[in-house]
Structures are given as structure tokens and as C-alpha cells.
């Protein structure tokens, strides 16, 4: 978004508007569908839709295109409510835990280690985990960060940072633990392209990038040599947070 406002300032101006729009859309959908599955947490649907719409508006709204921000936000909220309600209606009830994530991390570590020690395995793990976390939403990255930092205070810190309910944070944590293992199973080529600025590498050394993607095990030496080309995406809500930090914390959590 082309503005000097911080995330908190943006929320103060538009969060209530987005929340009211979400409630109106849920009411209309309830009438249209006749009945919404009673197992669906409508407060969670509302909060999810509002946060998703707010993130997109904060990041992408451009006043030069002539559309009022309230109109743009209203459209985003409507779409988010419809999508979230559909997903929640289909969602499985199984609760996920950090242990599910640890299992996958340890399996990747064994694959990458190839006889090396824990420190070497950690250096290989960091880019792989970071690539997966880059695919999480900004709000999910924040919840995961606070969870890994301190399980006792993560809910309160997430509520303060994101302006959402405690229930929302708890549900999202469960969804993060369900999503991360799948993201970590991306192919070698997928995670290398997610980690590095392909255009920059190609401009400097086409052969190097192609050979790294094409090889099997990624050596620590090659990972360090490619460090200059790593893509580090800033979190628009919490700029001090990046996925390198998340990967480091998750490695610590898993004992690497």
C-alpha cells in the first residue's frame, strides 16, 4: 500500500469497518444457504476473513487507481468470507501439534545430513525451512514466531499484534501445524527457487544456479556460497520478523 501508516494505524482506521462488513456478509450467506454447519466457528470465520482482507488491503491498495479504500476493502472482505466459510465447512476436526512438525523436520534433517554432524545438518535445514515458511501468510508467521518464542505468552502477543481474538490465534496455530509439514515436502527445485533470487543468479552465473538445482544433496559450502542471492521477504505487519528467524527458532525447537 502506498502509505506511511503503520499496521496499527491502519487497523485503527479500518478494522471496525472490515469487521462489520464480514458480519453483514455472514448474515447474508446464512440466509442464502438456509443453514450453516453448526460445527463451524463463525467468529473464527469472521476474524479470518477480516484479517486476510486487511492484510491484502494494507499491502496492495493503490489510491491512484481511483477506487475508494472502503470499497476495495469491502470486496476483499466479501471474497474472504465466502472462501473461509467454504474451507471451514470442509475442514477436518483433527487437532495438529508441534510434534507433527518436528517429525517432518527430523526426517528432512536425516535426509540432508548424509553422515554429517548436527551443525552441518542445521545449515542445510535453514534454507529448506525458510522456503516453507515464506509460503505462510504474514499473520501465520507472526503467530508461529510468538509460539516458538514463548508458548505461555504467544496468544496474548498475537492478539495484540494482529487485533484478533484468542480463539482465532488458537485455531490458526492448529492450522499452521497442519500446513507446515506439507510445505516442507516441496521438491528440491521448488525450495531452491523459493530461497534464491533466480533472475539475479542467472544474471551473474547461469551455470552455477542450474547445477545447484540439478544436483542431489546440497552441500553446506554451496549453501553458504549462494547466501548473497537469498531472498528475504519482510513481514508487512511485523517488519522486524523474517523467515530466517523462524527457521532458526524451529531448528532450536527440534534440537538442531
Same structural domain, 44 and 75: yes
Angle CA(214)–CA(195)–CA(236) in degrees, nearest 5?
160
Residue where one domain finishes, among candidates 90, 123, 146: 90
Same structural domain, 114 and 222: yes
pLDDT at 176 over 60: yes
Which tens digits make up the pLDDT trace of 184-228? 876 666 666 666 665 555 455 545 555 554 444 445 545 555 555
Average pLDDT of the chain, as a whole number:
80
Same structural domain, 115 and 49: no
Residue where one domain finishes, among candidates 41, 61, 90: 90
pLDDT at 39 over 50: yes
Same structural domain, 173 and 62: no
pLDDT at 167 over 60: yes
Same structural domain, 57 and 128: no
pLDDT at 157 over 90: yes
* Proportion of the chain above pLDDT 90, given as a percent: 29
Q: Which residue has the higher pLDDT, 212 or 119?
A: 119
The arithmetic mean of pLDDT across residues 165-191, rounded, is 81
pLDDT at 173 over 70: yes
Per-residue model confidence (pLDDT) at position 117: 60
pLDDT at 44 over 80: yes
For residue 1, being part of any structural domain is answered with no
Same structural domain, 142 and 52: no
User: Beta strands of the chain (E only): which ranges?
Assistant: none
For residue 47, being part of any structural domain is answered with yes
Same structural domain, 175 and 57: no
172 Cβ contact partners less than 8 Å away, ≥ 6 residues apart: 48, 139, 140, 143
Same structural domain, 117 and 77: no
Q: How many domains does the chain have?
A: 2
Q: What is d(CA 65, CA 67) in angstroms, rounded to the nearest whole number?
A: 6
Largest CA distance in the chain: 61
Q: What is d(CA 70, CA 186) in angstroms, rounded to the nearest whole number?
A: 38
Which tens digits make up the pLDDT trace of 47-69? 999 999 999 999 888 888 888 89
Same structural domain, 163 and 206: yes
For residue 2, being part of any structural domain is answered with no
224 Cβ contact partners less than 8 Å away, ≥ 6 residues apart: 123
Residue where one domain finishes, among candidates 90, 106, 141: 90
Same structural domain, 86 and 110: no
Same structural domain, 138 and 56: no
Q: What is d(CA 145, CA 204) in angstroms, rounded to the nearest whole number?
A: 34
Per-residue model confidence (pLDDT) at position 92: 47
Same structural domain, 211 and 157: yes
Q: Please report which confidence band the pLDDT of residue 82 belongs to, taking 50, 70 and 90 as the band edges.
A: very high
Per-residue model confidence (pLDDT) at position 244: 86
Q: Please report which confidence band the pLDDT of residue 103 belongs to, taking 50, 70 and 90 as the band edges.
A: confident
For residue 57, being part of any structural domain is answered with yes
For 169-206, the three-class secondary structure string (H helix, E strand, C coil) is HHHHHHHHHHHHHHHHCCCHHHHHHHHECHHHHHHHHH
Give the domain extent around 76: 7-90
Query: pTM here?
Result: 0.66
Amino acid at each position: 500500500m502506498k502509505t506511511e501508516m503503520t499496521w496499527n494505524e491502519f487497523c485503527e482506521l479500518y478494522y471496525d469497518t472490515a469487521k462489520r462488513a464480514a458480519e453483514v456478509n455472514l448474515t447474508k450467506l446464512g440466509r442464502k444457504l438456509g443453514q450453516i454447519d453448526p460445527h463451524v466457528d463463525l467468529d473464527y470465520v469472521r476474524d479470518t476473513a477480516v484479517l486476510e482482507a486487511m492484510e491484502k488491503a494494507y499491502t496492495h491498495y493503490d489510491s491512484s487507481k481511483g477506487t475508494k479504500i472502503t470499497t476495495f476493502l469491502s470486496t476483499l472482505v466479501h471474497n474472504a468470507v465466502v472462501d473461509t466459510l467454504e474451507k471451514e465447512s470442509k475442514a477436518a476436526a483433527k487437532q495438529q501439534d508441534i510434534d507433527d512438525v518436528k517429525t517432518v523436520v527430523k526426517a528432512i534433517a536425516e535426509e540432508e545430513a548424509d553422515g554429517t554432524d548436527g551443525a552441518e545438518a542445521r545449515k542445510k535445514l535453514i534454507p529448506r525451512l525458510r522456503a516453507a515458511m515464506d509460503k505462510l501468510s504474514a499473520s501465520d508467521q507472526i503467530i508461529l514466531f510468538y509460539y516458538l518464542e514463548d508458548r505461555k505468552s504467544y496468544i496474548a502477543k498475537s492478539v495484540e499484534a494482529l487485533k484478533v481474538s484468542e480463539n482465532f490465534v488458537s485455531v490458526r496455530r492448529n492450522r499452521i501445524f497442519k500446513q507446515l509439514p506439507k510445505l516442507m515436502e516441496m521438491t528440491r527445485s521448488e525450495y531452491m527457487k523459493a530461497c534464491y533470487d533466480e533472475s539475479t543468479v542467472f544474471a551473474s552465473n547461469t551455470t552455477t544456479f542450474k547445477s545447484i538445482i540439478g544436483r542431489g544433496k546440497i552441500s553446506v559450502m554451496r549453501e553458504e556460497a549462494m547466501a548473497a542471492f537469498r531472498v528475504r521477504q519482510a513481514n508487512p505487519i511485523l517488519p522486524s520478523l523474517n523467515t530466517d528467524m523462524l527457521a532458526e527458532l524451529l531448528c532450536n525447537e527440534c534440537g538442531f
